[in-house]
């Protein structure tokens, strides 16, 4: 949902949204929409399945830019996107107000641009604060 709030910034771009919830397709409207498996660090086989699906999706799409707002599938998108030469952006979820998410800490090291939505979590090294999507 946070990524959809950035939608005006993508005007004129060919966009494919990927999410772990099919129900979010209603919010996408006429845009391209894909579903990838949800996973977390406790679910090793699901992480592997998600990684395979994400890798195939990115190989098929060959995006120029990959933007993610979080969690394990988003981390995988950033990692594989970078390997394929895409520019990568990680926007840590606004829900992570006290500390950066684990996925954010991991993805941030690999993202070309690492952002937090909370000014007190910005740092050098670390994510930059450029505002919030709320």
Return the bridge partners of 19, or none: 35
Q: Is 126 left (phi over 0), alpha (psi -120 to 50) or beta?
A: left
**Residue 13 CB partners (closer than 8 Å, separation 6+):** none
Structure confidence by residue, pLDDT tens digits, 43-91: 999 999 999 999 999 999 999 999 998 789 999 999 999 999 999 999 9
Global confidence as pTM: 0.90
Torsion of CA 122, 123, 127, 130, to 10 degrees: 50
pLDDT, the chain, mean: 91
Per-residue pLDDT band for 125 (boundaries 50, 70, 90) equals confident
Written as one string, the DSSP assignment of 57-126 is HHHHH--SEEEE--HHHHHHHHHHHHHTT-EEEEE--TT--SS--HHHHHHHTT-SEEEESSGGG--SSS
CATH no. for 3-129: 3.40.50.2000
Going by C-alpha positions, the residue among 83, 73, 80, 70 that lies closest to residue 114 is 70
Highest mean pLDDT among 14-18, 26-30, 56-60, 108-112: 56-60
Q: Which residue has better confidence, 121 or 31?
A: 121
Structure confidence by residue, pLDDT tens digits, 7-20: 888 889 999 999 99
Could you tell me how far CA 34 lies from the centroid of its own chain? 13
Per-residue pLDDT band for 5 (boundaries 50, 70, 90) equals confident
Among the ranges given (28-32, 68-72, 109-113), the one the predictor scored with the smallest mean pLDDT: 28-32
């Amino acid at each position: 949902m946070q990524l959809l709030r950035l939608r005006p910034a993508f005007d004129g771009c060919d966009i494919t949204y990927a999410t772990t919830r099919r129900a979010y397709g209603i919010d996408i409207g006429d845009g391209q929409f894909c579903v990838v498996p949800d996973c977390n660090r406790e679910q090793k086989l699901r992480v592997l399945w998600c990684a395979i699906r994400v890798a195939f999706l990115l190989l098929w799409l060959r995006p120029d830019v990959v933007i993610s707002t979080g969690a394990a599938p988003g981390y995988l998108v950033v990692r594989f996107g970078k390997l394929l030469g895409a520019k990568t952006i990680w926007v840590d979820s606004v829900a992570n107000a006290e500390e950066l998410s684990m996925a954010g800490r991991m993805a941030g090291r690999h993202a070309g641009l690492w952002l937090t939505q909370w000014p007190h979590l910005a740092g050098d090294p670390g994510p930059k604060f450029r505002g919030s999507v709320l």
